[in-house]
Amino acid sequence: MDTWTLLLEGFATALQPIYLLYALLGVLLGTAVGVLPGIGPAMTVALLLPITYSLEPTAAFIVFAGIYYGGMYGGSTTSILLNTPGESASIVTALEGNKMARAGRGAAALATAAIGSFVAGTIATVLLTLLAPTVARFAVSLGPADYFALMVIAFLTVGALLGDSAWRGMVSLAVGLFIGLIGVDTLTGQSRFTFGVPQLGDGIDVVLVAVGLFALGEALYVGSRLRHGTIPIIPITRGWRTWMRRSDWARSWKSWLRGAAIGFPIGSIPAGGADVATFLSYATERSVAKPEYRKQFGKGAIEGVAGPEAANNAAAAGVLVPLLTLGIPTTATAAIMLSAFQTYGIQPGPRLFETQSALVWALIASLFIGNTLLLVLNLPLVGMWVKLLQIPRPYLYAGILVFAGLGAYAANFTVFDIGVLLVLGVLGFFMRRLGFPIAPLVVGAILGPMAEEQLRKAMQIGQGDPSYLVQSPFAIVAYVAMALIIALALWLKRRRARFEASLPPADTVAIATLDEEIESQQPHPELDRGRLSTQALPRQRSTSNHPEGPDVGGDG
Amino acid sequence: MSTASAGAPEQGASAAARAERSARIEAMIFVGLLVVLAVGVLISTTTIREPPGSTNTLGARVVPYAVGVLLLVSSLAVLVGQLRGRFGHPEAGEDIDLAHGTAWIPTGILALSFVSLMVTIPFLGWPLGVTILFAGASLALGAKRWWVAVLIGLAMGVVTQLVFGTLLGLSLPPTGTLTSWIGI
């Protein structure tokens, strides 16, 4: 097969020692920032965009691929071990994994998350390998109107589906599109919204948008509401003999496969990204679980960790399908990676597999390698990741600011950009405070100029007739699919919100009792739980999403 | 979402109510500014010069108009939603404590430390600029010993200078106009 030869060539590139080193660097960095609270993969890739100014493209993308996958692994470690309400993307893992950890089964939760991520990530990468060239071959025949349709889909799904409410997402999207408009129009040479400032003539650099909103905005926001005092970390056993018992394997493997099957397709269509995939997987696991296990859900069911984690990673690989074959990003991280491609003058899209074949296949091969490295590194190094969780927060966020400054200054080497970054950071700060999602803004700012270009090309071909935009069968199918996706996803979101609101807080003792009870029903050799301690935990604090206390302010 | 939990002391409840009221005022102002921005976009779009060209192509104004309308409609929709009491929820996160109020002063110092780079990079160079940024930011966030913050900041400045400036070849200035006598 042609694909396989190309993939093998990709492996030949990616397995060179120097690239292996870059892959290792990428996964370590990715896991580290995934573990660190407050830093996600989007922020990391944004902060590391400056390396694209000096590294060659293959090396840079191998690093980015490592960060992308590593970030997914790291996030689950945090939500399992850290006793605070987590981010929404990993909320279902936090739901079950955190409760498993509090009942003394943290090692098993970490193991099933890591192995499940590996299994699903590998399956999804195989699917990506098989699917991407086919999609690319098909996409070559698409015209500007079709591309415009695809971009509208990406805009509307990202805008309507991420965040609290559809309108808030659309506001964020519109602000992003506006930021994308600033600068001299390439077609007519007219400056738009530059307010006479010459530095704005080239437009606002995408690096600034990403770093300002993700790094600076996040640091300011966390700084304004920093949790003081030590954050309790759930202790786990030292030895790894009790990782996963036979019953854990038996309960996990089907969930991993189901998670991969749910995650990959959802990741590859623009339907709100990994959030939707993890929730769907969780709901599926709960409904197919045997009755005696089902009552464990919400109190630390291992399927509830295995499935969503697998789905999360499979979705991450799925996101790469539209990114590489069509040049359409469906998440913020993908949008920033797209801009990294553009820094090199490479345009992701159907031609990418022809013009940059070596680069693409090396990138795909490095996904396989990164996945394997993560499995090998992650479980033994969990002690190190736990140490990372203990970095004093003042230094962590001050360090983020330093790298934000580096990213801003290195974009054009003018201090003017530092000022632009501050404006964007303050915008991001208020958007976080007031419940506006950030991702639509970033996608709008990056994809907006490309969409305008396609729209104008299409209008040229169609001789100024707007109905040309909906004439090709592909465009019609795309718009219909968009309407369906949005309707379905909004319904799912409502279900999820209702479901999360209905979760009762469970206390550790009840979880442990239920766990014992289930174990006593199944024959397995070791009942070794004695060395695990749950005593170090403050019991009064629940993992529920709503902080309790007399003076909860501002979230009404 | 209900705020004050049952049985909270009278004082706590009124503080929570005050905090919620100020959050609502802030949300209304922010969305109001967005509406103003949208109107501004629409007005200034009319001043974009449209060179006379072929009628087949879209000019420089069409997309800005569309974006302006989208911004106006969506921010008005959010505004109406807020008038009906549907406010957004502040983002949650591992390090974020929503149970307490906003610490405005540390946040201001954070922003100031960051902007100080605009002055410190040209006058003092990158490593010293980073030192000031790091020390200012970490102290604002509650670092205990100031000299540790300064030392870590200096170390970060030097290391990033070496890695990104010397090794990766980004042109970060090692010294500025005031420190050029160091002569590196």
- CB nearest B111 (choices: A168, A394, A422): A422
Task: Establish if B154 belongs to a structural domain.
Answer: yes
What residues make up the domain containing A35? 2-227+245-520
Neighbouring C-beta atoms of residue B163, cutoff 10 Å: 13
Distances (CA, A) of B13 to A475, B8, B89: 55, 6, 19
Residues of chain A positioned with their CB less than 8 A from the CB of B143 = 392, 394-395, 398
Task: Establish if B94 belongs to a structural domain.
Answer: no
Average of pLDDT values for A142-164?
83
Do B73 and B116 fall into the same domain? no
* Contact A459/B at CB under 8 A: yes
Neighbouring C-beta atoms of residue B2, cutoff 10 Å: 8
Please give the Cα distance from B115 to B135 (Å, whole number): 14
* Contact A170/B at CB under 8 A: yes
Please give the Cα distance from A106 to A84 (Å, whole number): 15
The nearest CA of chain A is from the CA of B135 a distance in Å of 8
Residues of chain B positioned with their CB less than 8 A from the CB of A549 = 5, 99
| Higher pLDDT, residue A371 or A496 | A371
* Contact A390/B at CB under 8 A: no
- List the Cα angle B43/B44/B46 in 5-degree steps: 75
Question: What ipTM describes this predicted complex?
Answer: 0.89
What is the pLDDT, as a whole number, of residue A528? 39
Closest CA to A219 of A396, A419, A478, A4: A396
| pLDDT over 90 (residue A71) | no
Residues of chain A positioned with their CB less than 8 A from the CB of B68 = 178
* Contact A167/B at CB under 8 A: yes
Do B20 and B71 fall into the same domain? yes
Pick the most confident of A204-208, A429-433, A465-469, A552-556: A429-433
Task: Establish if A541 belongs to a structural domain.
Answer: no
Task: Establish if B98 belongs to a structural domain.
Answer: no
Do B78 and B111 fall into the same domain? no
Do B71 and B115 fall into the same domain? no
Please give the Cα distance from A108 to A243 (Å, whole number): 5
Please give the Cα distance from A553 to A225 (Å, whole number): 12
| pLDDT over 70 (residue A535) | no
Average of pLDDT values for A398-424?
90
Rg (CA), chain B: 25
| pLDDT over 90 (residue A229) | no
- CB nearest A550 (choices: B5, B102, B153): B5
Q: Across the A/B interface, how many CB contacts are shorter than 8 Å?
A: 320
**pLDDT per residue as tens digits for the range A74-118:** 877 877 887 554 444 556 667 788 788 877 788 888 888 889 999
Task: Establish if B89 belongs to a structural domain.
Answer: no
Closest residue of chain B to A544, computed from CA coordinates: B92
Q: Do B89 and A459 touch (CB under 8 A)?
A: no
* Contact B19/A at CB under 8 A: yes
* Contact B95/A at CB under 8 A: yes
* Contact B89/A at CB under 8 A: yes
Confidence band for A509, pLDDT divided at 50, 70 and 90:
low
Closest CA to A350 of A143, A65, A52: A143
Do B163 and B121 fall into the same domain? yes
Structure tokens at A310: 């697998």
**What backbone torsions phi and psi does residue A56 show, to the nearest 5 degrees?**
-75, 155
Please give the Cα distance from A503 to B77 (Å, whole number): 31
**pLDDT per residue as tens digits for the range B122-165:** 999 999 999 999 999 999 998 888 999 999 999 999 999 998 88
* Contact A556/B at CB under 8 A: yes
Task: Establish if A234 belongs to a structural domain.
Answer: no
Please give the Cα distance from A527 to A542 (Å, whole number): 27
| pLDDT over 80 (residue A546) | no
Please give the Cα distance from A71 to A48 (Å, whole number): 14
Q: Do A402 and B91 touch (CB under 8 A)?
A: no
| pLDDT over 50 (residue A478) | yes
Residues of chain A positioned with their CB less than 8 A from the CB of B119 = 415
Q: Give the DSSP letter of residue A507.
A: -
Query: What is the number of domains present in chain B?
Result: 2
| pLDDT over 80 (residue A254) | yes
Confidence band for A271, pLDDT divided at 50, 70 and 90:
low
Average of pLDDT values for A416-440?
92
The nearest CA of chain B is from the CA of A106 a distance in Å of 18
What residues make up the domain containing B63? 10-83
| pLDDT over 90 (residue A4) | no
* Contact A193/B at CB under 8 A: yes
* Contact A497/B at CB under 8 A: no
Q: Do B4 and A550 touch (CB under 8 A)?
A: yes
What is the pLDDT, as a whole number, of residue A142? 87
The nearest CA of chain A is from the CA of B182 a distance in Å of 22
Q: Residue A233: helix, strand or coil by DSSP?
A: strand
Residues of chain A positioned with their CB less than 8 A from the CB of B156 = 399, 402
Task: Establish if B42 belongs to a structural domain.
Answer: yes
Residue to mutate among B36, B50, B56, B67, with most A CBs inside 10 A, is B67
Closest residue of chain B to A159, computed from CA coordinates: B74
The nearest CA of chain B is from the CA of A417 a distance in Å of 9
Closest CA to B168 of A59, A408, A54: A54
Task: Establish if A213 belongs to a structural domain.
Answer: yes
B residues 100-139 closer than 8 Å to A (CB):
100-104, 106-107, 110-111, 113-115, 117-119, 121-122, 126, 129-130, 133-135, 137-139
Task: Establish if B67 belongs to a structural domain.
Answer: yes
- CB nearest B88 (choices: A38, A435, A553): A435
Do B78 and B110 fall into the same domain? no
Task: Establish if A87 belongs to a structural domain.
Answer: yes
Q: Is the dihedral of CA B15, B16, B20, B21 positive or negative?
A: negative
Q: Do A87 and B92 touch (CB under 8 A)?
A: yes
Pick the most confident of A35-49, A266-280, A457-471, B16-30: B16-30
Confidence band for A521, pLDDT divided at 50, 70 and 90:
low
Q: Across the 184 residues of chain B, what is the mean pLDDT of every consecutive 10-residue run?
A: 44 74 91 94 86 65 92 94 87 76 90 94 93 94 90 94 85 83 67
What is the pLDDT, as a whole number, of residue A492? 75
> What's the one-letter identity of residue A242?
T
Average of pLDDT values for A346-353?
85
Do B50 and B108 fall into the same domain? no
Query: What is the number of domains present in chain A?
Result: 1
- CB nearest A221 (choices: B8, B91, B143): B91
**pLDDT per residue as tens digits for the range A116-142:** 999 999 999 999 999 988 888 888 888
* Contact B77/A at CB under 8 A: yes
Task: Establish if B3 belongs to a structural domain.
Answer: no
Do B77 and B125 fall into the same domain? no
